[in-house]
Structure 1
Amino acid sequence: MTDHYEVLGVSRDASEDEIKKAYRRLARQLHPDVNPSEDAAERFKLVTHAYDVLSDADSRRRYDMGGDQNGNGGFGGFGGFGDIFETFFGGGGARAARPRSRRERGQDALVRVTLELGDVVFGVHRDIEVDTAVLCETCQGSCCQEGTSPVTCDICGGSGHVQQQVRSLLGNVITTAPCGSCEGFGTTIPFPCQT
């Protein structure tokens, strides 16, 4: 898996402002209109995807919890410097919704432990038992019956989101929402694992 923090050259605890500055710097260097090399175009795609994930608080949280394992996401074509400025100053040109990964790391376990003052001051070693979820031996975490696999969602076409057009006083407004059929994953499981 590509480490989005590494791609942008920032630490895992970087602020939104640090992430934005790193993206702007790299985008200026790697945009295909400025740097025509094939390597630069591929790196620009990686940088843009990393920024898309890390600049949105929800997707960054999901990524930090182990989501986005497959690097799902779309990159639009390159339309010139207008694309960069639109991304920097609004318009969301580079932001595209992407399906969430089914395999997310669980939340941190919170365990309450009672310690004596001496244990706190001098330190103590204790073994603590914590119940954790284990990988299903039947389906290996795919959630599908043996011999079957997830299928692309017919409603959203695998994108994980649907667009709806609503008429208003200001004209037609297009909204994007997670697909209700696949719950934003982009795939459905016709024969779920029974375990």
Structure 2
Amino acid sequence: MSKKLVSIIILGICLLLVGCGKEVVDSNFTGKWKLESSGIGMSDGTDYTETKKADIPSLDFDIDSDGNVKELYIDDTVAITNSYKLKQEKDNEYQYDGPIICKKVYEYKTESEKEKVQSELNTLKAKDNVKITKSAQKGDEYQIDLKVEEQDFVLSMEIENEKLIFKKVDNKEKVLIKQTYKKN
């Protein structure tokens, strides 16, 4: 065999091995999920209360095996798309791997709703870990694009009765947010 052919074969094997890397997120967690219930409490599980069914927004959650996550949150006044990457820390614990890219589109009809949007923008500008990349008004909509650099949450996921249990624990504030999703 010629040296050129051997080199091509070795290069092909190397590329194949690189492509066969371990998935970042367990395949049980991958796919499209729809929010079914949500609640908040202390990080140790005490004082946990479920959100009223009427107060639960529409939230879709899409996770791929490479750890890419896309969340779509919609309520009466805002549509939010969050995109981020997860890295595995322990068996079912994950951490944000890089910034959260967020797009918020607010719809307002009254002056008080417009003032709330302006107040939200001012709050975001005051945060150290948030960088606003776009802020624009178009008709009765206001779009804010931002990058959130650091998060204090430890994330965990588990499957229980064919439902995804997604927990965010903020160790700094000692708060637990627990969300249950059904497969879409």
Same-fold call, TM cutoff 0.5: no
Q: Which has the larger radius of gyration?
A: 1
Q: Which has the higher contact order (CA 8 A, sep 6+)?
A: 2
- Higher helix proportion: 1
Q: Could you tell me the TM-score, scaled by structure 1's length? A: 0.28
